[in-house]
A and B are shown apart, each in its own frame.
Chain A
Amino acid sequence: MLQFIGACAAAFAACFAYSLVVNIRGLLLILAPLGAALCWLVYLACLPYFEELLCCFFATLAVSVYAEVMSRVNRAPATGFLLVGLLPLVPGGGIYYTMEYGINGDTINFLQTGLHTFGIAGSLALGVLVVSSIMRFYHVVRRQGKRGSC
């Protein structure tokens, strides 16, 4: 449990700093990194039960829903929340290890890690896809209910 909290705190701190880099301001400076902490929490919670790719997918779903809700509540674009919230899942490690195997001439591991990295990127994209498709559908349905609003 304590490990969970420590890891989420690290995710929060790192993504708080990243929010500064992409010039997020005001209340969002707290809310956006909270999404990252949520993301890592879901990822860690899923890890004992599912395959890693599936954990990434679930964590992405959680962050996407969080981003959509927060963007409604704060009237701010969802992009910021997604960008910061998904950062812990972006496969920086995968890129590094793929490169490492590449320069060591270990072709089998190079290909395997490379494909795995693609897989993680794919499951991120898929998670974003599911939630944003549902949101678009919801918007269209609601717009047809009341026409001509902004």
Chain B
Amino acid sequence: MERLDLLHVSTDIAYALLESGAEIYRVEESILRMFKAYGMDGGSVFAIPTFLLVSLPGDDGKPLTEMRRIGNHGSDLAKVGAYNDLCRRICKNAPDAESIRREMQTITTIPHHPFWLQVVAFGVVGLGFTLLFGGSGIDAAAALLCGMAIKLVLHQFDRFEANSFFTTICVSFVAGAAAFGLVQLGFGQNLDKIIIGVLMNLVPGVALTNFMRDIIAGDLIAGLTKLVEALLTATGIALGTGVALSLGRALMGVL
């Protein structure tokens, strides 16, 4: 394969991996292994959750470099798995650029679960965790409703590409307000259990579990980026629900 082709293809794969929420070391290792599989030395990759830089010396000795900025990154583990498989196959068979592109095309068509199922899933996460943390049956039902409500709100925010910190605050506000309202109406008793259950949907689990793996792998900046992300998300959750509860209590005091 031409060096330029290899650079383009590998950058595209790295970008797709990062965007689907793969760990940093997986991205960097996959690309370096791909370079090795085509017998090209001297390539280099730098990735952090928001930025990607891939470089490879060209045939005439001049360096070829491609740089990408990464915006919002979600978690789509089906895609991470598929790209990971693809990298493995590339390392083994060293196919040409055309067939890699074709495979990448099929991976991008891997669907997400249908929207209604995701709404229900958000609800069931709330329901399950409310039960797990000691809520009663009726609390769990309230959490189911709140969970479904926050997925609907989250979907709207995603459509307008709002930044994630602001989204977290607003969505937690909705969760808190909905739970508070339901409890005031007599639907559910333990406000805290309901809110905690629902908020497990928003909690920064990805960042929290991944940041340590990145730091261990030596990707200090990537690890710190994720740590900050986790802290910001946690703060956002606390702010959003805090405002909802304070407002709710103040209103109830007036009424």
Contacts and interface: CB of A to CB of B under 8 A. Distances in A.
Contacts of A40: 132
A102 B238 CA distance: 9
Interface string A95-106: 111111011000
A23 B196 contact: no
A75 B85 contact: yes
Contact of A24 (B77, B192, B216): B77
B209 interface: yes
Contact of A17 (B26, B124, B217, B242): B124
A92 B128 CA distance: 14
Contact of A80 (B77, B92, B196, B215): B77
Which interface class (under 10, 10 to 19, 20 to 34, 35 or more) fits A?
A: 35 or more
Q: Which of A10, A91, A95, A132 has the most CB of B within 10 A?
A: A95
Contacts of B204: 90
A83 B209 contact: yes
B213 interface: yes
Interface in B194-218: 195-196, 199-201, 203-206, 208-213, 215-217
B81 interface: yes
Interface string B83-102: 01100100110000000000
10 contacts: A10-B129, A13-B124, A16-B124, A21-B201, A23-B112, A77-B22, A77-B80, A83-B205, A83-B206, A150-B91
